[in-house]
Amino acid sequence: MAIAIRRVTKRFGDFVAVDDVSLAIASGSLTALLGPSGSGKSTLLRIVAGLEHPDEGDVSIHGEDATGLPPQERGVGFVFQHYAAFKHMSVRENVAFALKIRKRPRDEIRDRVGELLRLVQLEGLANRYPSQLSGGQRQRMALARALAAEPRVLLLDEPFGALDARVRKELRAWLRRLHDDVPVTTVLVTHDQEEAMDVADRVAVMNEGRVEQTGKPRDLYEHPANEFVMSFVGPAHRLGEAWIRPHDLEVRQEPNGSSTEAMVERVVHLGFEVRAELVLEDGRRVSAQVTRNEADELELHEGQIVFVRPSRTHVFSAVATPQGHS
């Protein structure tokens, strides 16, 4: 295991940010800590980096107990949401920082910085200052800076959170390719389930300081352990005791045995897919996701009466954690 977190708890005053969390992260993997804000995911990441100290529990990195080690001695690279660029240093000086601190020979620093700048595609901008870069460029610089000291573990705290949607998607794909080329064990904190599913090999879903479920992105989606994971990882609706995904709701023009009548309130075109927002007989609202072709065949339009039947539902036992999504 590259990182082993054992029974870690962290409190800020009365607030329990991380509540008895244990988590193992495999070498060379790219793991996402996914959760809403305040779920403790960033605190957990900062504990791994040594920027916060756990009140209880311990952390080991590559088999070595790191609980008492300061951040300087953990061999971690950390990337912050707001870049934490050294504004008075050029891009080159930023990337060279860790090597200069380690007093490496000048030639070695030059070669290594050149190599890293090529890796993050900033060769032409080496002499610029951070204020002259775009957000995406700054974050790539921060990544190169974190990689310079050859960390054993790379920790990314909402790295794309401050960027606009398009740049975020580009950087996400780029990060995935980078990880395949330079397979450093990476932990990514995000509140964006799409980002977690897109980039990570494994996802740990966090809520209220606890890890709700850990698994491959697809497993979490297909087999959520509880209502929170069901509702946080992908869209979901509650129908009676059961939970259902919008694409697991069959929509027909004619009634059929177990189907329920519903009125189409709104039709939303999302490119290839169409989302129909429906009102059931009893007034509950659900949405159904169908392909464009299906929508055309059904001639979906507002005010239409359709018949729906869930093709697949998830039922959780009553001990499931309370949650605010629906």
Partner 1 sequence: MAARLSLRFAALGYLAALLALPVGLVFWRTFEKGLGPVWDAATTPEALHALWLTVLIALVAVPANTIFGVICALVIVRGRFHGKWFLNALVDLTFALSPVVIGLALYLVYARTGWFGGWLVDHGITVIFALPGMILATIFVSLPFVVRETVPVLREIGTEQEEAAWTLGASPLTAFFRVTLPAIRWGITYGIVLTTARAIGEFGAVSIVSGSIAGRTETLTLHVQERFQGFDLTGAYTASVELALLALITLLFMTLLRKESPGGDSDSPGDEALR
53 binds partner 1 (CB under 8 A): no
Q: Which is nearer to partner 1, 128 or 314 (CB)?
A: 128
- The 122-141 site mask, x for binding partner 1 (CB under 8 A), equals -------x-xxxxx------
54 binds partner 1 (CB under 8 A): no
Contact range with partner 1 by CB under 8 A, out of 96-104, 178-186, 297-305, 312-320: 96-104
80 binds partner 1 (CB under 8 A): yes
Cα angle vertex 175, ends 8, 205, to 5°?
A: 35
160 binds partner 1 (CB under 8 A): no
CA distance linking residue 147 with residue 78, whole number of Å: 9
Q: Which is nearer to partner 1, 117 or 203 (CB)?
A: 117
List the interface residues with partner 1, window 190-229 (CB under 8 A): none
Helix segments in the chain, DSSP class H = 41-49, 91-101, 106-119, 135-147, 165-181, 193-199, 217-222, 227-232, 292-298
CA distance linking residue 288 with residue 268, whole number of Å: 10
Contact range with partner 1 by CB under 8 A, out of 22-30, 85-93, 193-201, 288-296: 85-93
Min separation Cβ 120 and partner 1, Å:
16
98 binds partner 1 (CB under 8 A): yes
86 binds partner 1 (CB under 8 A): yes
CA distance linking residue 89 with residue 97, whole number of Å: 9
71 binds partner 1 (CB under 8 A): yes
- Annotate 145-181 with b (16+ C-beta within 10 A) or e (fewer): bbbbbebbbbbbbbbbbbbeeebbeebbeebeebbee
- Are the C-beta atoms of residues 128 and 85 closer than 8 Å to each other? no
Q: What order do you get walking across the sheet with 64-65 strand by strand?
A: 15-25, 3-12, 56-61, 64-65
List the interface residues with partner 1, window 31-50 (CB under 8 A): 49-50
The contact set with partner 1 (CB under 8 A) reads 49-51, 70-72, 74, 76-78, 80, 82, 84-90, 97-98, 101-102, 129, 131-135, 142, 145-146, 148-149
